[in-house]
Structures are given as C-alpha cells and as structure tokens.
Amino acid sequence: MIRRFGMEEIIKVENLHKSFHSLPVLKGIDLKINKGEIVSVIGPSGSGKSTLLRCLNHLETADKGSISFEGNYIAKADATGKAVYKSNKEVLAICSNIGMVFQNFNLFPHKSVLENIIEAPVMVKKMPKEEAESKALGLLEKVGLLEKKDAYPYQLSGGQKQRVAIARALAMEPDIMLFDEPTSALDPELIGEVLQVIKKLAEERMTMIIVTHEMHFAREISDRVIFMDYGRIVVDGTPDDIFVNPEHPRIKTFLNKVL
C-alpha cells in the first residue's frame, strides 16, 4: 500500500526511558508519527509496547526523554536527560486531543451508552448537550450500535463494548487514536467487528497507533510496523520489511511463534 503524507509531524518521542521500580521497561525510544499514518506496534509481551503507548498520553510518567504532540512539549528532557513535564492542567489539555482505546474497554458502567459518549464533550469541551448527543448518535451509527444508545455497558458483548469505547474516544474529535491491544480481551468471534471499525477509521485517514497481537490485521492495515523487544524499537519499517523479508533474527523467531 503506497500512501502520500504531507510530512506533518504529530507525535515526536526522543530518548524515552521508563522503569517500574528499577526494572527498565523502555530503554531509549525515538519515534516520529506523521499525520495520517497508521502505525502498528508488535512484539513479545513485556517488550514495552503498551508502556510506550501509555507514555504518549501521560497515563505513565516517563523518567527520561522528551514527548511532544503537534509541536507542543508534554515532557522535555532537561540537561541531565530527565523528563520534565508541563503542569498537569497543560498536559491534560494537550492529551485531550489524543484518543485512547483500552484492552478492557473501561466504559463507565453507571452511564448508558449515549451518556458514556457525551460525558467528555459536555464536561471537558463544554459542548451543548443537544449538539453532543446528535454527534454521539452519528458516531454510534458509524460503529453500528445506534440501537444500543440507551443500553448500559453490562448489557453489551465485549465487541460491542469496544465499539462504544471507540465511539467515546472519537467524540472528543482527537487528532490521533491510540489502541492498546483493542481485541486482546475479546472472544475470537467478536474480534472481527472491532477490527472492521478500526479499518473504517483507517479509510478515513485517522492517524492511529495500534498495539496489537493481530499480525494479519497489522500487516493489512498499517503504513508502518514497529517491532519492539526488551524495551527497544528493533525495526521500524513497512509491513513488508517485517512480515515478508524479516532480516532481524528476533523478528523471525517472534513471527514463527505467533503466526
């Protein structure tokens, strides 16, 4: 798949380090994502894929390095390399342009599907309720769940929950969507419906970073595939670089195990 990008940089990560209690999880990540790019991140569990994604919208706090979004620094390395964050308020404002979809959906169980979707536009963006609702209905139609607008999360299947979660993230009109293993908690027969929605977003050129174990999907949908291992990016290339001619022995071993 050949696509053209106006090389407009949306996320830039430099020398990112992160440890959990002296256990290093990210060991110097450099990454640039351009507008309109669809990037999959693959690799063995524990390789730091999810942690990298969670650092991008400050669900995890990096120890060292810089992260910027559309040219605005969320965290900037000081002279010693330490990541110095902007104020919580500023970080939150910047990160509200970054949509996130979680492995476990994290829908608000006490709110109906429609209420889940309009919560942030109304509370954070101060959008009038009627406007938020009509937008939410449009999003529900897009993910094929219009008839579930008044249902509560407990009444939905895993696949439906995840589609609502995607609609909820899209309701903030983010400039990029992060997917953290969006199908890993789903029964096999429900994975397809979620991937279908993500594909639809890809066709609309939504910028996306997808951490996934769905290799066929990653290969089909991505402009770029990043292979991570032991907290480092081992290969950052086209799907063909990874899946057709994997030169790196670690990728070969990994693919042999999962495909």
Residue of the chain from 154, 189, 203, 259 that contacts other proteins (CB under 8 A): 154
> Which two tokens mark 40?
């999959």
CB of 194 to other proteins, least distance (A): 17
CB of 248 to other proteins, least distance (A): 33
Kindly state whether residue 152 participates in binding other proteins, applying the rule CB under 8 A.
Answer: yes
CB of 42 to other proteins, least distance (A): 22
Of 105-113, 134-142, 212-220, 244-252, the window that binds other proteins (rule: CB under 8 A) is 105-113
Kindly state whether residue 100 participates in binding other proteins, applying the rule CB under 8 A.
Answer: yes
Of 2-10, 13-21, 89-97, 138-146, the window that binds other proteins (rule: CB under 8 A) is 89-97
Kindly state whether residue 224 participates in binding other proteins, applying the rule CB under 8 A.
Answer: no
Kindly state whether residue 15 participates in binding other proteins, applying the rule CB under 8 A.
Answer: no
Residue showing tokens 């001619």 = 245
Footprint (CB under 8 A) of other proteins, residues 16-55: none
> How are strands ordered across the β-sheet holding 83-85?
23-34, 9-20, 64-69, 72-77, 83-85
Residue 123's CB is within 10 A of a number of other CB atoms, namely: 10
- Residue 75, C-beta contacts closer than 8 angstroms, at least 6 positions apart: 62, 65, 66, 67, 83, 84, 85, 86
Kindly state whether residue 110 participates in binding other proteins, applying the rule CB under 8 A.
Answer: yes
Kindly state whether residue 96 participates in binding other proteins, applying the rule CB under 8 A.
Answer: yes
Kindly state whether residue 62 participates in binding other proteins, applying the rule CB under 8 A.
Answer: no
**Own/partner long-range contacts of 18-27 (Cβ < 8 Å, ≥24 apart):** 18/48, 18/51, 18/55, 18/60, 18/61, 18/62, 18/63, 19/63, 24/231, 25/51, 25/231, 26/51, 26/52, 26/55, 26/62, 26/231, 27/230, 27/231, 27/232
Kindly state whether residue 93 participates in binding other proteins, applying the rule CB under 8 A.
Answer: yes
CB of 6 to other proteins, least distance (A): 26
> Which two tokens mark 23?
């256990």
Q: How many residues does the chain have?
A: 259
Nearer to other proteins, 161 or 224 (CB): 161
CB of 187 to other proteins, least distance (A): 19
Give backbone dihedrals phi and psi of 28, rounded to 5 degrees, phi first.
95, 80
Residue 74's CB is within 10 A of a number of other CB atoms, namely: 23
Query: Which stretches of the chain bind other proteins, using CB under 8 A?
Result: 57-59, 88-89, 92-93, 95-96, 98-100, 102, 104, 106-110, 119-120, 123-125, 152-154, 168-169, 172
